[in-house]
Every structure is written in C-alpha cells, then in structure tokens.
Amino acid sequence: MRVISGTVPRWVDVGLIPFINILLAFLASGLIILLIGEDPIEAVRILIWGAFGTEEGIGYTLYYTTNFIFTGLAVAVAFHAGLFNIGGEGQAYIGGLGVGLALLLFDNSLPFILILPISIAASALFGAAWAYIPAYLQAYRGSHIVITTIMFNFIASALMVYLLVNVLIQPGQMSPESREFAQSAWLPFMHEAFAWFGVEITRSPLNLSIFWALVCCVLIWGFIWRTRWGYEIRTVGFNETAAVYAGINPKKIVILAMCVSGGLAGFVGLNEVLGVHHRLLLNFQLGYGFAGIAVSLMGRNHPVGIIFASLLFGTLYQGGAELSFDMPKVTREMVEVVQGLVILFSGALALMIKPTVERIYFILASAAARRASAAEG
Amino acid sequence: MKQILLAASAAIILSAASASAADVKPAVVFDMGGKFDKSFNEGVYNGVEKFKAETGISYREFEVTNETQREQALRKMAQRGADPVVGVGFAQGPAMEKVAKEFPDTRFTIIDMVVDLPNVQSVVFKEQEGSFLVGALAAAASQSGKVGFVGGMDIPLIRRFACGYEQGAKHAGASTEVIQNMTGTTPAAWNDPSKGGELAKSQFDRGVDVVYAAAGGTGIGVYQAAKDSGKLAIGVDSNQNYLHPGTMLTSMLKRVDVAAYNAFKGAQDGTWKPGIQVLGLAEGGIDWALDEHNKGLITPEMQAMVDKVKADIIAGTITVHDYMSDNSCSY
C-alpha cells in the first residue's frame, strides 16, 4: 500500500499543472476570438498548421524557439541563485553587438572555422559583461537586481542606437544598420545545411545555432546539477544564510550566476546577427528577453522544461503571425493578447490552480489507495 | 423566360467584370508602427482604403511585429499570388530586395526607400523640402524668435526633417533660434505622447512659441501641449490641422497615401512602372497644409512668403541641404 505524503508527485507539478494552465489560457483566448466574431476552432487549426504544417512554418517556429531557449536558460540560471534577471533583453542586444563587432573586424580576414568560436565567445562575453555591472551592484552595493537590469535594458538600447546611427552605419544608408558581413562568414541556414546532404527543404531563418541552443541546455543542466558552482548557486538560491554557513560567498555566486545568465542571453545575438540578418541592426532582440521569463517559469527552470516551453512560444509566435495573416479580424494586437494570456496563466497565475489540483489529486489518490487496500484485505 | 435569360446574362457579365477586377490582388505590409499610428502607416492605410472604396477590390494586409517577419510577410504575400505588394517604410528595404529577387514576376512597391531591381518601384520623398517650408512658416509666425522641433526616434531620417526645418527657419529670419529634442532612442519613441508633451512644454519654458513634431504618435502629445499653453504646433505626414483648430499652424504633408494608392491603381490599369520616384514639392508628393482649420493663423504676408519659398525651391534657386547626403547638417 502506498503512503499518501504531503506533496504531489513530480509529474503533476511539472506536467499536469502547466498543461492545465495552457489549456485555461487557450480557453480564455478562444472566448475572446469568439467575441470578435471568428471561429476559435478554426483559429487553433490555422495556428497549429501555420506553425507545423509546412517546412517553412516549422523553420520559423524552431527559429523562434532557438531564441527562447537562450533567454529561457538565462532567466533560469539566475533564478536558481534567487535572482530575477529582467535584463535578458539588454544582454541579448549587447551580445549581438559583440558578434557584430567581431564580424565587422574579422569577416574578410579569417576563415569560418575561426569566426564561429570567436562569435560564440564574443556574444557570451558581451552579454556577460552587460550582466556583470548589475550583478556587481547587487552583490556589493545592494542595488536591487530587478531595477538595475531593467534600467540596463534602456542603456543597451540607447547605446546600440548611438553606435548604429553615428558610428557603425553604412554611409549613405537610410536604416541604421551596419554593412552586410562577407558571405563566407555567415552561419549556415538549415536549408543550406540540408542541401549539403542533398536534401532540399524550404528556406527559413532557421540556422545551425539551434544546435548550439541544445548544447547549451545540456551544458547548463550539467552546470547547475553536476558541478560545485551549480551546487553553490542553488544553495544561495535556497537559503543565503545557510550558504554563508556552508562557507559559500554569496557575492561571488551572484556575480557568477548573472554572468552565465547574461552570456546565455547574449547568444540570441548569435542566432539573429550571425545566423539570420548577417548585419548589425536595431531591435533584433525585441521581446525575446522578456518572453524568456515566462519560458523559464513555465519550464520550471529546468532545461528540458525550457525546451518545451520555448517550443510552445515559438509555436505561438509563428502560428500567431499566420493567424493574423489568414484572419483579417485577428490583428497583431489580438495575437499579443493570446500570447499575453499564456504568459499570464502559466507565469503569474502558475500557482493559482495548484491547491485545487493537489486537493483533487489527493482525493483521487486516497480513494485509489482505499480501493487497493480493500482489494488486499 | 426572357427575364430569366436577361438575369442570367447580367450575372455572366457581372461575374466577368469581377473576374477581371480580381486580376490585381494587391497587398500591403505595414511596418512596426502599426496601421493606426495616426501618421505614416496610417497614411498608407488611408490610401489603400481609398483604393478599396473606389474599386471594390479588397487587399491583403499584414502588420509586422519583429525584424524577421518583414521578409516572411513579403514572401508570403508573393507566394499567395498577391500583386502588387506594397512595403511600408525604409526598414523593409533589405527584406524586399531578397523577396523581389525570388519573385521576379511580382510587382513590388516600397515607400521611403530605394530598392534597385527591375520589378520594384521605389517611392521616396524629399522631407527636407517640406520641413524647410514649415520651418520658414514657423519663424514667420514666432513672436519670440525661437522655434522648436520634437523628433521621434533619433535616426537619420528624422534628422533630415530637423535639418530642413532649421534651414527654413534661418531662411525666414537669420537670427531665429531652433531648439531640437528627440523623444528617444527606441521605437517606443514613435508612440510616447506624454513624453512628447513634456518635451514641448520644456521648449515653451525656454521661449519657444512654435513647435514642429516629426514623431508619429508622439506628436499627439506635442499638439496637446501647444494647445494647453496657447502656443502653435506643426503637424507631420498627414494633414493634422483638424486636431486642434486654432493652434495648429500647419502640417507638413508627405503624401504616402497617394503613393500607396498610385501603386495599387497603377497596377490595376497597367500604368505601374518600376524604378525610383522621388517625390518633392515639384511633384506634389510633399506640401504644406492650408485648410479651414488654420487659415486664420496664416496671414497673407506669410502665405506670400511661403509661396515664394516654395516656387524658389521648385525652380532650384533655393537648394535645401539633405542631412542624409553627408550625415551632417552643415549647409
């Protein structure tokens, strides 16, 4: 006979509750779509088909997913140390600046085999540097990390605009964008990579950086749960006083966690600048840093959960675009409402249904246990 | 029987007519500002709505929300057989260049940018000329000799507005002082009326009594602040004189609506041509607005002065320096 303990099993917490949350979000969205006079079932069909129905759709979905994995991981690492990194947006932006500067310097002189590690290092370094300052201020000056990281988003934005409008802009060009990188330095698109093996797929912005995103998931899993640093990060996150007692210096951990977090966010720049746009431009990071918070919350700060949550957000982004394409009444603001509801239900209201679900689970579980013991007896 | 035949033939004629009308399947891709930005995108929206109302031909539309969607939207339009496809704003340039190469049989029109391809029509405007006109008008209307400029996002295009405005103001009165502010450095600066209002008020405190806003939705706050303080304001892109009759001195008109309408209409009646169209004062693509809402503010002397400046610019006796030709405002 099983003993009913005070906690629900893990699958309820990481599987069932998020699933119910998403279902609630879609229910609410369906009501709104019904309200504006469109068919919600048809809307869901278009959304799913738009995200997975065509090679191009899948490509776009996975391309968005790549960005969300990076920012989701970034938020998760900071979260394990008990820090709320709202600055993913700015760190991604500056990470892109790192890639852009590296490419503008080296794209004509170095082979791709060197460009790639340099770009990865540059994006991580720049992203980490941008996170280091708020981390330092939090650790040694007590300035709250939420406030400083938000402010650093604006500073990043102002810095990028200054650089692109005044310094890096291609002369005689209308848009504030740098010159295009030499084609030999581009990170190959997925359709190009497939073509090497003789398989033809439709072109999309999906590029090889998705593999780097998956590698990062494995690395971060190992980092958080299999290294001393990860252990220290989690200890500080659980209980800072206990961490001090255990001989851990929380100040150093704050800086470590934030730098890893910023570096991960910086990889968005890798996907966008090196993989898709092949030039430095404004606002390529728009929204991914903030969505990363929701991705991480929904994925319960675990790399596997983050992959699934990223896929969901990728689906919403790509399917949502398709939705506003095919349903004239569904404007882009409507799509944002649907995305916002998903964030609301699985982020802010994540714990709303938890007590109810747990109660139902215990009732069912104890009923099952009674039946089992009755059968035994 | 005869009636049925008549009705049937009428139906056939009607369906034939609608079939030929369906030959153009126009589409428009709005940019990040959104189609209801009261300014640039909305101008295009008004143009294509006019086309729809006149011809009964509906169009496909899409509003992009991130950098990557521009290319996606343009390609999707072309894939689904839309022709012509109008792209709104300079930011769509690189995306249109790619997509237009992939679909050489589809006609593309881009507003505010040049894409040099055989199937692309590029429509650009000489904003500096219109800004010069309203700058001269601002200096003439100013009592204090100080005029203000509130820009949206700090990008070269908006500095072109500011530079033309400054030249116009100095042309009308060499001692005129021009105070400039940009609302911000992010796209949010296009839609921040409260900050626009604050900037305008701080300029008023420094003695400015005419302010020109080239800031999209942010301008709404600038015009409101001018009304509240009893100062004058100048609108941009669309004719915004009606917003606050009595304090709206004029508006600098950039006829993106005409450009969009012409692209659709030209494709329908076969007069659409690829290549670059530079629309300035001479072509009627740029102008200043004089209507019943602001005619009380424009004295006959001011009107005569502006008409003279306009004629001189068209004739070439006044050359207006373009900020974007050398990324500086030295003239």
Counting the structural domains of chain A, the total is: 1
B63, B185, B190, B192, best to mutate vs chain A, most A CBs in 10 Å: B185
pLDDT for A186: 94
Identical fold between B21-125+257-279 and B127-254+299-326:
yes
Chain B residue with minimum CA distance to A159: B185
Contact present, B189 and B215 (Cβ < 8 Å)? yes
| A97-106 confidence digits (pLDDT tens) | 999 999 999 9
Residues in B closer than 8 angstroms to A161, CB to CB, are 153-155, 185-186
Query: How large is the angle between the packed helices B69-79 and B93-102, nearest 10 degrees?
Result: 30
| A213-259 confidence digits (pLDDT tens) | 999 999 999 999 999 999 999 999 999 999 999 999 999 999 999 99
Instruction: Average the pLDDT over A102-119 and give the result.
Output: 94
Number of C-beta neighbours around residue A117 at 10 A = 9
Closest approach of B38 to chain A, Cα-based (Å):
16
B160, B186, B329, best to mutate vs chain A, most A CBs in 10 Å: B186
Element containing residue B181 per DSSP (H, E): strand B177-184
Is a pLDDT exceeding 70 seen at residue A324?
A: yes
- Tokens representing A371? 């039946």
Tell me the C-alpha to C-alpha distance, in Å, between residue A70 and each of A74, A76, A77, A267, A360: 6, 10, 11, 6, 36
Contacts of residue B10, Cβ cutoff 8 Å, sequence gap at least 6: none
SS3 state at A191: helix
State the Cα angle at B65 between A271 and A194, rounded to 5°: 35
Q: Which DSSP state fits B189? A: G
Tell me the C-alpha to C-alpha distance, in Å, between residue B63 and each of A32, A48, A279, B88: 20, 20, 23, 10
Distance of CA B16 to the CA centre of its chain: 37
The mean-pLDDT minimum among A25-39, A41-55, A92-106, A337-351 falls in: A337-351
Is a pLDDT exceeding 50 seen at residue A3?
A: no
Closest approach of A136 to chain B, Cα-based (Å):
26
SS3 state at B102: helix
Q: Which long-range contacts (CB under 8 A, 24 or more apart) does A194-203 make?
A: A201/A55, A201/A59, A202/A54, A202/A55, A202/A56, A202/A59, A203/A56, A203/A59
Instruction: Average the pLDDT over A62-75 and give the result.
Output: 97
Tell me the C-alpha to C-alpha distance, in Å, between residue B157 and each of A282, B71, B162, B324: 15, 22, 9, 7
Size of interface A-B (CB pairs under 8 A): 71
The type of residue at A191 is H
CB nearest to B67's CB, from A154, A157, A284: A284
Alpha carbons B34 and B44: distance in angstroms, whole number: 11
Instruction: Report CB contact under 8 Å: B62, A165.
Output: no
Task: Judge whether B61 is closer than 8 Å to chain A, CB to CB.
Answer: yes
Instruction: Report CB contact under 8 Å: B66, A158.
Output: no
A62, A332, A334, best to mutate vs chain B, most B CBs in 10 Å: A332
The percent of residues above 70 in pLDDT, for chain A, comes to: 97
A205-219, A344-358, B280-294 — which one is most confidently predicted on average?
A: A205-219
In the block, tokens 């507003």 appear at: B111
Is a pLDDT exceeding 50 seen at residue A4?
A: no
Contacts of residue B167, Cβ cutoff 8 Å, sequence gap at least 6: B128, B132, B135, B320, B321, B331
DSSP track, B240-294? -GGGSTTTEEEEEEE-HHHHHHHHHHHHHHT----EEEEE-TTTTSEEE--STTT
Element containing residue B232 per DSSP (H, E): strand B232-237
Chain B residue with minimum CA distance to A320: B65
- Tokens representing A235? 């200890």
- Tokens representing B102? 């992939």
Domain harbouring A154, CATH code: 1.10.3470
Task: Judge whether B138 is closer than 8 Å to chain A, CB to CB.
Answer: no
Evaluate the CA torsion angle B65, B66, B72, B74 in order and state its sign: positive
pLDDT for B4: 55
Fold of B21-125+257-279: Rossmann fold (3.40.50)
Q: Phi and psi for A24 in degrees, rounded to 5?
A: -60, -40
Chain A residue with minimum CA distance to B76: A325
Contact present, B117 and B169 (Cβ < 8 Å)? no
Instruction: Report CB contact under 8 Å: A325, B76.
Output: yes
Is a pLDDT exceeding 90 seen at residue A169?
A: no
Residues in B closer than 8 angstroms to A328, CB to CB, are 61
- Tokens representing A42? 């048809």
pLDDT for A342: 82
- Tokens representing B222? 């600038």
Residues in A closer than 8 angstroms to B185, CB to CB, are 157-158, 161-162
Chain B residue with minimum CA distance to A165: B155
Burial per residue of B189-219, b for 16 or more beta-carbon CB atoms within 10 angstroms, e otherwise: bbbbbebbbbbbbebbeeebbbbbbbbbbbb
Instruction: Report CB contact under 8 Å: B67, A283.
Output: yes
- Comparing C-alpha atoms, which of A230, A301, A223 is closest to residue A14? A301
Instruction: Average the pLDDT over A34-63 and give the result.
Output: 92
Evaluate the CA torsion angle A168, A174, A176, A177 in order and state its sign: negative
Domain containing residue A74: 57-326
Tell me the C-alpha to C-alpha distance, in Å, between residue B225 and each of A213, A245, B218: 49, 59, 11
Evaluate whether residue A369 is within a structural domain: no
Evaluate whether residue A76 is within a structural domain: yes
Residue A60: pLDDT band (50, 70, 90) is very high
- Comparing C-alpha atoms, which of A311, A275, A223, A217 is closest to residue A95? A275
DSSP track, B44-96? HHHHHHHHHHHH----EEEE--STTHHHHHHHHHHHTT-BSEEEESGGGHHHH
Domain ranges of chain B: 21-125+257-279, 127-254+299-326
CB nearest to A332's CB, from B65, B72, B327: B65
pLDDT for B18: 41
Contact present, A346 and A22 (Cβ < 8 Å)? yes
State the Cα angle at A143 between A140 and A146, rounded to 5°: 125
| A177-194 confidence digits (pLDDT tens) | 899 999 999 999 999 999
Instruction: Report CB contact under 8 Å: B63, A205.
Output: no
Number of C-beta neighbours around residue B323 at 10 A = 24
> What class is the B127-254+299-326 domain?
alpha beta
The type of residue at B9 is S
DSSP track, A199-265? ------S-BTHHHHHHHHHHHHHHHHHHSHHHHHHHHHHH-HHHHHHTT--HHHHHHHHHHHHHHHH
Burial per residue of B106-119, b for 16 or more beta-carbon CB atoms within 10 angstroms, e otherwise: bbbbbbbbbbebeb
Evaluate whether residue A217 is within a structural domain: yes
CB nearest to B156's CB, from A176, A277, A331: A176
CB nearest to B63's CB, from A281, A286, A332: A332
Residues in B closer than 8 angstroms to A277, CB to CB, are 67
Chain B residue with minimum CA distance to A50: B76
Alpha carbons A38 and A62: distance in angstroms, whole number: 28
Is a pLDDT exceeding 90 seen at residue A89?
A: yes
Burial class for A310, CB neighbours closer than 10 Å (0-12, 13-18, 19+): buried
In the block, tokens 């851990």 appear at: A248
Residues in A closer than 8 angstroms to B63, CB to CB, are 324, 331-332
pLDDT for A330: 84
pLDDT for B19: 39
SS3 state at B167: helix
Contact present, B314 and B282 (Cβ < 8 Å)? yes
Residuewise pLDDT in 10s, chain B (331 residues):
455 555 555 544 444 444 344 478 999 999 887 888 777 888 899 999 999 999 999 999 999 888 889 999 999 999 989 999 999 988 898 899 999 999 999 999 999 888 999 999 999 999 999 999 999 999 999 999 999 999 998 888 899 999 999 999 999 999 999 999 999 877 778 888 999 999 999 999 999 999 999 998 899 999 999 999 999 999 998 888 999 999 999 999 999 999 999 999 999 999 999 999 999 999 889 999 999 999 999 999 999 999 999 999 999 999 999 998 888 888 7
Burial per residue of A18-45, b for 16 or more beta-carbon CB atoms within 10 angstroms, e otherwise: bebbbebbbebbbeebeeeebebeebbe
Looking at the DSSP bridge assignments, the partners of residue B148 are B179, B211
Contact present, B291 and B253 (Cβ < 8 Å)? no
